[in-house]
Amino acid sequence: MQQTCRNPWCAQAFTITDDDLAFYDKVSPVFNGKKEPIPPPTLCPECRMQRHLAFRNERSLQKRTSSLSGAPIVSMYSEDKPFQVYSQSEWWSDHWDPLQYGQSWDASSSFFSQLASLLSGVPKNCLHNLEAENAEYANYCWHNKNCYLIFGSDKNQDSLYSLWIYECQNVVDCAFCYNSSLLYQCVDSVRCYQSVHCQDCEDVRDCWYGYDLKGCSRCFACVGLRQKDLHAFNKPVTEEEWKSLIRQGMTNRMEQAFLALRQTRPHRAVHHINTEDAQGEYIVHSSRIINSFDIRNSQDIRYSHDIFDRGKDCAHCSFSGEAELCYECYEVKGHAIAFCNRNWLPSSNSLYLWDCDDCHHCFACVGLRKKSYCILNKQYTKEEYEALVPKIIAKMRADGEWGEFFPVTMSPFAYNETVAQEYFPLTKEEVLARGWKWREQTDEMPKVEKIIPAAQLPDSINDIPDDILNWAIECEATKRPFKIIKQELEFYRQMRLPVPHFHPDERHRRRMALRNPRKLWKRECMKCGKAIETSYAPERPEIVYCESCYLAAVY
Ligand SMILES: [Zn+2]
Ligand SMILES: [Zn+2]
């Protein structure tokens, strides 16, 4: 069936298939033996993605104090937020009881307004960063050691300023990289070693400025090569020539030549690895995937993104793993849950949970742990629970709330603090016109001896004194001041890299711009004319091939 997106500023048409309807039926919850059907979505897939992202503040971190102990903390919630924020150890401790904020359901007022009132009372966890060792400045992270300003990343060591990195060591300024070490400014690369400015590369070492390289070593500014050693601009060079190129680094003229080389080589329509029946982009070791992005080791996933491991039979989920039969969930693990926001210790058979862990048969709760049969943070018996939830759902259905994720107005963050602003950028006026929040962000002036414009930095790392750790650098693009930390300076020296001229946020923005948008276009293979779906928009200059023409061209 054809549906029109309910957001008046969007109103685009989208399709709901019979297969989608069968899925909504399958995940519809049952209370007292009676199924409560989840209706088809009212927002188009992009507006649903934007709604999830508007709840995710990854990188806008602030120094503030804990509302419980007054201890200094780093937090994704700025001090002006109208609720209590605890340090991570305080939040995870037994020193407070989320049930004390419990409310009785009020049949005369809307569900979301009651949930919003509960949400404003229950203390928030300053960051989601578990089992961190010397890695306090990190968010949505797990098991990292000696890391700084990394986000959505697990099991890394000695890594800085990166997003979505897994099992990496000594990587700086990278995104979507796995099982790699000694990388700088790399994107979408796997099992790489000691490489700089590589994108879509696998099993490479000592490569600088590489695009779509596999099994290569000692390359400079190469594109689409397989199992090559000592190449520059796709032509063989001597070891001395290669060394001289990486000593010199990329000049403007060479960069133009590299970009020109990229435009002459065929690009894969999509970057999947070992998939079956996959529609989307960056799908890895997965099967039966519909319209999804960055999905790994998963099956039967639709309209989802950033499913990092073992997703099964999920729809409209994001930043989740080890999840089965989940619908409209964000940052969850578990089974048969819907409309939940951040749940890391697996939960099951629950709806509308927020920051709850290890909860089962719960509805509309905030900050609970190891609980069952709770509604609005109030404990019920199984029988009471099964009788009351259908009444709440009936009221939600009447109010047009049933089957919807939390409205963006319930996000604790301003829109421009969240990842939504990265994927769906809006002006302040547009944000306010939609009734969403905006926050003016100003940098705290670093307490330093001096601030120097980036253009005045010496080109060679050999000429950078230790004293730089006491300065701030003024970003060449945004004029925002930023500091270099000791671990970072040691990395640049080890890798013989110049000190960056841009603020970490600007570096992040430029890195993310290297990736294609999370959108698919129907086009034709530019070699054989076969119909393809690709994340390369039709007006882009790249040569885009179907998988078989691409493989024939590069091997
Ligand atoms: Zn829409
Ligand atoms: Zn083709």
Ligand 1 geometric centre to CA of 204 (Å): 40
CB atoms within 10 A of CB 14: 18
Confidence of residue 173 (pLDDT cuts 50, 70, 90): very high
Per-residue pLDDT, averaged over 336-348, amounts to 97
Up-side HSE of residue 38: CA atoms within 13 Å toward CB? 24
Ligand 1 geometric centre to CA of 48 (Å): 7
Please name which ligand lies nearest the alpha carbon of 552: 2
Quote the DSSP letter at residue 408: G
Ligand 2 geometric centre to CA of 548 (Å): 6
Ligand 2 geometric centre to CA of 420 (Å): 35
Please name which ligand lies nearest the alpha carbon of 47: 1
Ligand 2 geometric centre to CA of 227 (Å): 23
Ligand 2 geometric centre to CA of 175 (Å): 29
What's the pLDDT at 410?
A: 97
**Cβ burial, residue 139 (10 Å; 0-12/13-18/19+):** buried
Could you tell me where the beta strands, DSSP code E, fall in 22-77? 30-31, 34-35, 62-65, 72-75
What's the pLDDT at 447?
A: 85
Ligand 1 geometric centre to CA of 46 (Å): 6
Asked whether 328 and 339 are in contact (CB, 8 A), the reply is yes
What's the pLDDT at 64?
A: 95
Ligand 1 geometric centre to CA of 404 (Å): 14
Please name which ligand lies nearest the alpha carbon of 10: 1
CB atoms within 10 A of CB 274: 11
Ligand 2 geometric centre to CA of 268 (Å): 10
Ligand 2 geometric centre to CA of 46 (Å): 28
Ligand 1 geometric centre to CA of 14 (Å): 8
Please name which ligand lies nearest the alpha carbon of 269: 2
Task: Return the minimum-mean-pLDDT range out of 23-27, 213-217, 249-253, 453-457.
Answer: 249-253
Whose tokens are 């963006």? That residue is: 408
Share of the chain above pLDDT 70, in %: 100
Ligand 1 geometric centre to CA of 3 (Å): 10
Please name which ligand lies nearest the alpha carbon of 551: 2
Alpha helices in 1-104 (DSSP H): 18-26, 45-53, 88-92
Please name which ligand lies nearest the alpha carbon of 6: 1
Confidence of residue 401 (pLDDT cuts 50, 70, 90): very high
Residue 244, H or E segment: helix 239-248
Asked whether 429 and 416 are in contact (CB, 8 A), the reply is no
Q: What are the backbone dihedrals phi and psi of residue 378, each rounded to the nearest 5 degrees, phi first?
A: -120, 135
Ligand 2 geometric centre to CA of 269 (Å): 10
Whose tokens are 């293979």? That residue is: 525
Asked whether 245 and 232 are in contact (CB, 8 A), the reply is yes
Ligand 2 geometric centre to CA of 14 (Å): 28
What's the pLDDT at 250?
A: 87
Please name which ligand lies nearest the alpha carbon of 527: 2
Taking all residues of the chain, what is their mean pLDDT, rounded to a whole number? 96
Of 248 and 474, more confident? 474
pLDDT exceeds cutoff 90 at 154: yes
pTM of the model: 0.95
Nearest Cα neighbor of 48 from 327, 316, 361 is 316
Q: What are the tokens at 534?
A: 């690709």
Domain positions in the chain: 2-53, 154-268, 290-399, 450-501, 521-554
Please name which ligand lies nearest the alpha carbon of 546: 2
What's the pLDDT at 442?
A: 82
Q: What is the pLDDT of residues 72-95, one digit of tens each?
A: 999 999 999 999 999 999 999 999
Please name which ligand lies nearest the alpha carbon of 41: 1
Ligand 1 geometric centre to CA of 528 (Å): 34
Asked whether 389 and 378 are in contact (CB, 8 A), the reply is no
CB atoms within 10 A of CB 158: 21
What's the pLDDT at 449?
A: 84
Please name which ligand lies nearest the alpha carbon of 543: 2
User: What angle is formed at CA 123 by the lines to CA 122 and CA 126, rounded to 5 degrees?
Assistant: 145
